[in-house]
Amino acid sequence: MRLGSLCAVSVCAATISISPGTARAQAPSPAKTAALASVEGQRADLIRMADQIWSFAELALRETKSAALLADHAERHGFTVERGVAGMPTAFVATYGRGRPIIGIIGEYDALPGLSQQVSTTRDAVAEGGAGQGCGHNLFGTASLGAAVAVKALIASGKLTGTVKYYGTPAEEKIGGKIYMIREGFFRDADVVLAWHPGDETKAEYEGFQANVQFVVEFRGRTAHAAGDPWNGRSAADAAELFTHGINMLREHVKPSVRMHYTVERAGDVPNVVPDYARVLTWVRDSKRAGVDTVFARVQDIAKGAALMAGVEQTLTVQTGFTDMNILESGSRLLHENLTRIGPPTYTAEEEAFARALQQATGKDVVGMNAAVRPLKPITADPPGGSSDVGDVSWVAPTLHFTLATAPKDVPWHAWPVVAASGMSIGHKGMMYAARTLAATAVDLFENAAVREAIRAEWTEKTKGVTYTWLVPDGPPPVPGH
Ligand SMILES: [Zn+2]
């Protein structure tokens, strides 16, 4: 679908006023100017919180201190905070205001295992083997709350009417906390939900995320002495090897958009015992859920075949699955206008040197920071690699999403350079830019019913005939220790 094709419906007039390049840029409304000033006024608070969450570096569903820090901050600013929602102690919703419109803003805060890293241009862990903010979620959760606080102040002073909700969403890196929140009915009442993600470039969404399914394959065989009577053993490790080999043979026969990856979590302990248990954690991704389903069916057959060849039993358990993103062109235009109007940060010589050193250290082109807003493009059919449970939210409520540079161009993601950049001024500058963009866009959504209606109309059109189903298993979320 081309940009602007929404003009086929009667909401076109509403989108013209927010379309960049179509007319004189309107001066920001007094409320928007006030929102931007409010974000700026929170600078010290936001940097302090982002740095604390960076130091906490808490893993999925263990983000106790991070969630409490953000929830307490919201409460101090007058929000009504509902903690521990959807069966997850680290999920919360902070609400201020009453009535419509309801504008939601999503925040994340979980870290990744094994990525502990100092603010340094060489690989130096803070705590060896510890976790690190390798996806910049310390910036994500904090910027979003800063924007929500700015909007709250405008509602409190009567400059805006309606409700702002901050969704504290845990466990994005695995499990998918938002999906459990969707299962409990959250997000659905929002007129529009806003989200962003730290990245190495700045753009309103036109690429989206891949759908995926995450599952565990377990093989159970029969143990024996590996030298004494191996003929009595049935090796679960053999089955795991055959299974992963089968996946690797399948790679030639899937579309280029498919990604399959696994880790062998268990496959025996010592070589002189035939392993009777093996476990392989596996993910399959593709551009759309339907593509994932097709490949997943074949992978299930491979698991059965591997078990048959090794003479063992197999079970396959789905842990979760993320859905591709329902991108709204009308929403991306609005985000693009605000990103462009606010403009990217400039970087000091020290920050540029830091960025270039990270690129040098990881074998990337040494080009420094590039936070310039990329031109808006038509929605692409195949997203780049990566998935997010924000995709699931986009099927239950109109969801606007952008990516913003918080790290040097092309440095490896989910890796130590991102942890380093997320804990210093390069990350802080991206976070402040994100908070301003979220706040400005929220003000537009509060003030301009026609824009909201255009977004709603496009969402209604794109979800027509689509039945969203979540992939998380029945039962409570897998909270550690519960
Ligand atoms: Zn992330």
Ligand 1 centroid distance, CA of 429 (Å):
18
What pLDDT score was predicted for residue 13? Answer: 35
**Residue 432 — very low, low, confident or very high, per pLDDT cuts 50/70/90?**
very high
Q: Say how far residue 30 (Cα) sits from the centre of its chain.
A: 32
Question: What are 53-93's pLDDT values in tens digits?
Answer: 999 999 999 999 999 999 999 999 999 999 999 999 999 99
Q: What six digits make up the tokens of 230?
A: 């191996």
CB atoms near residue 478 (< 10 Å): 18
Ligand 1 centroid distance, CA of 134 (Å):
8
Residue with tokens 């929000």: 79
Residue with tokens 């999920």: 91
What pLDDT score was predicted for residue 27? Answer: 87
Ligand 1 centroid distance, CA of 111 (Å):
9
47 contacts 39 by C-beta, under 8 angstroms: no
> Would you say the C-alpha torsion 190, 196, 202, 203 has a positive or negative sign?
negative
Residues 6+ apart with CB under 8 A from 44: none
Ligand 1 centroid distance, CA of 175 (Å):
13
Ligand 1 centroid distance, CA of 412 (Å):
13
Ligand 1 centroid distance, CA of 136 (Å):
7
Q: Tell me the DSSP string of 306-346.
A: HHHHHT-EEEEEEEE-PPPP---HHHHHHHHHHHHHH----
Ligand 1 centroid distance, CA of 128 (Å):
22
**Residue 8 — very low, low, confident or very high, per pLDDT cuts 50/70/90?**
very low
Q: Mean pLDDT throughout 449-471?
A: 96
What pLDDT score was predicted for residue 482? Answer: 77
> Would you say the C-alpha torsion 474, 464, 209, 445 has a positive or negative sign?
negative
d(CA 386, CA 331): 21
Ligand 1 centroid distance, CA of 171 (Å):
10
Distances 401 to 19, 225, 379 between C-alpha atoms, Å: 17, 56, 13
Q: Mean pLDDT throughout 317-342?
A: 97
Ligand 1 centroid distance, CA of 390 (Å):
10
- β-pairing, 163-168 vs 102-107, is parallel
- Smallest Cα–Cα separation from 103: which of 447, 473, 450, 457? 447
- Smallest Cα–Cα separation from 337: which of 193, 203, 429, 452? 203
Question: What are 90-134's pLDDT values in tens digits?
Answer: 999 999 999 999 999 999 999 999 999 999 999 999 999 999 999
- β-pairing, 277-286 vs 259-267, is antiparallel
**222: helix, strand or coil:** strand
d(CA 136, CA 121): 16
Residue with tokens 């699955």: 321
Q: Mean pLDDT throughout 180-193?
A: 98
What's the chain's average pLDDT? Answer: 94
- β-pairing, 192-199 vs 102-107, is parallel
Strands (E) in 47-130, as ranges, are 80-83, 92-97, 102-107
Ligand 1 centroid distance, CA of 249 (Å):
30
CB atoms near residue 336 (< 10 Å): 24
Looking at the DSSP assignment, which residues form a beta bridge with residue 277?
220
Q: Mean pLDDT throughout 423-442?
A: 98
Residues 6+ apart with CB under 8 A from 60: 110, 170, 171, 172, 173, 174, 175, 177
Ligand 1 centroid distance, CA of 40 (Å):
25
What pLDDT score was predicted for residue 15? Answer: 36
Task: Tell me the HSE value of 75 on the side-chain side, using a 13 A CA sphere.
Answer: 10
What pLDDT score was predicted for residue 2? Answer: 29
Q: What six digits make up the tokens of 214?
A: 């995450």
- β-pairing, 192-199 vs 163-168, is unpaired
User: Looking at this protein, which amino acid is placed at residue 90?
Assistant: T
396 contacts 406 by C-beta, under 8 angstroms: no
Ligand 1 centroid distance, CA of 290 (Å):
23
378 contacts 3 by C-beta, under 8 angstroms: yes
Ligand 1 centroid distance, CA of 181 (Å):
18
**Residue 188 — very low, low, confident or very high, per pLDDT cuts 50/70/90?**
very high
- What is the percentage of the chain residues whose pLDDT exceeds 70? 95
Ligand 1 centroid distance, CA of 173 (Å):
7
Please tell me the pTM assigned to this model: 0.91
**174: helix, strand or coil:** coil
d(CA 247, CA 396): 33
What pLDDT score was predicted for residue 385? Answer: 83
CB atoms near residue 78 (< 10 Å): 14
Ligand 1 centroid distance, CA of 135 (Å):
5
Phi, psi of 97 (to 5 degrees): 100, -175
Q: What six digits make up the tokens of 121?
A: 């241009």
Ligand 1 centroid distance, CA of 434 (Å):
15
d(CA 307, CA 238): 9
What pLDDT score was predicted for residue 481? Answer: 85
Ligand 1 centroid distance, CA of 197 (Å):
6
Ligand 1 centroid distance, CA of 24 (Å):
36
Question: What are 12-59's pLDDT values in tens digits?
Answer: 333 333 444 444 457 899 999 999 999 999 999 999 999 999 999 999
- Smallest Cα–Cα separation from 283: which of 387, 390, 381? 387
310 contacts 239 by C-beta, under 8 angstroms: yes
Looking at the DSSP assignment, which residues form a beta bridge with residue 318?
215
Ligand 1 centroid distance, CA of 108 (Å):
8
Ligand 1 centroid distance, CA of 137 (Å):
6
What pLDDT score was predicted for residue 323? Answer: 97
d(CA 397, CA 456): 9
DSSP 285: E
- Smallest Cα–Cα separation from 112: which of 132, 94, 138, 98? 132
What pLDDT score was predicted for residue 368? Answer: 97
Q: What six digits make up the tokens of 202?
A: 């700045």
What pLDDT score was predicted for residue 25? Answer: 59
DSSP 395: T
Ligand 1 centroid distance, CA of 130 (Å):
18
What pLDDT score was predicted for residue 141? Answer: 98
Q: Tell me the DSSP string of 27-57.
A: PPPHHHHHHHHHHHHTHHHHHHHHHHHHHH-
Ligand 1 centroid distance, CA of 313 (Å):
36
Ligand 1 centroid distance, CA of 332 (Å):
19
Is residue 1's pLDDT more than 50? no
Ligand 1 centroid distance, CA of 172 (Å):
7
Ligand 1 centroid distance, CA of 20 (Å):
29
Ligand 1 centroid distance, CA of 419 (Å):
12
What pLDDT score was predicted for residue 6? Answer: 31
Ligand 1 centroid distance, CA of 3 (Å):
27
